[in-house]
Amino acid sequence: MTKIRDNYSHIQIALHWLIVLLFVFNYIFGDGMNRIFDAHMEGKDIALWPGMTHVYVGVTMLVLVVIRLIVRRRMGVPAEAPNPREWMTVASTWTHRLLYVLMAFVPLAGMAAWFGGIDQFGEIHVLLMNALLIVSGIHAAAALYHHFIMKDGLLKRMWFKH
C-alpha cells in the first residue's frame, strides 16, 4: 500500500514537470527519427546528433520515471482529490497507473529498437507514444476541469508552495 501524505513533495512536483518537459521535447523533435532510425539500422550514422539527442533525452526521462516511482513508494502521495462521483476517483487512480506504465514503456520500446536493433519495436514505440499523448491529454484536461470548472484548486497540489 502507498503511504498517504498531505501533499506532493517538492521533489515529486519537480519530477512531474521535468518529465512533462522532456516528453514534449522528444515529441516535437521526434519528427525526423523515422529517417534517422532507418539510416542507423543500415549502419549509416548520418545526422547523428539529432538522433542521439532524442535517445538520451528519452533515456533521461526513463531514469527520472524510475526515481519518481521510488520516491512515490518511499514518501507516499496525497489521497485522491475529492470527486462528486465515485467513478471519477476510480478513473483518476487508473489513469495515473496507466501514465506510469506508458512513461516507462515508451522509452523502453525506443531503446529496444535503437540499441537492440529490432525494427518492430520502433512501431511499438510510436504506438505507445501516441497512447501516452492521448492519455496525458485526457489527464491534463481533467486536471484543468477540476481547477477551473469545479474550482477546487487542484493544480495547486502539483505546484510549489512558498
30 lies in the binding site for ligand HEM (CB under 6 A): yes
Three-state secondary structure call for residue 47? coil
Q: Using the rule CB under 6 A, which residue among 99, 104, 117, 118 binds ligand HEM?
A: 99
Instruction: Kindly list the distances between the CA atom of residue 154 and the CA atoms of 75, 81, 83, 128, 160, in Å, as whole numbers in the listed order.
Output: 20, 8, 11, 28, 13
Q: Draw the binding track, 36-65, toward ligand HEM (x: CB under 6 A; -: no contact).
A: -x----------------xx--xx-x----
Whole-number minimum distance, CB 46 to ligand HEM, in Å?
14
Q: What are 26's three cell numbers?
A: 522528444
CB-CB contact of 96 with 72 (8 Å): no
Q: Are 96 and 19 contacting, i.e. CB atoms less than 8 angstroms apart?
A: no
How far is CA 51 from each of CA 23, 32, 42, 116, rounded to the nearest angstrom?
Answer: 15, 8, 14, 15
The reply to whether 143 sits near ligand HEM by the rule CB under 6 A is yes
140 forms part of the interface with ligand HEM (CB under 6 A): yes
Residues near ligand HEM, by CB under 6 A:
16, 19-20, 23, 26-27, 30, 33-34, 37, 54-55, 58-59, 61, 72, 77-78, 80-81, 96, 99-100, 103, 106-107, 110-111, 113-114, 122-123, 125-126, 129, 136, 139-140, 143, 154-155, 157-158
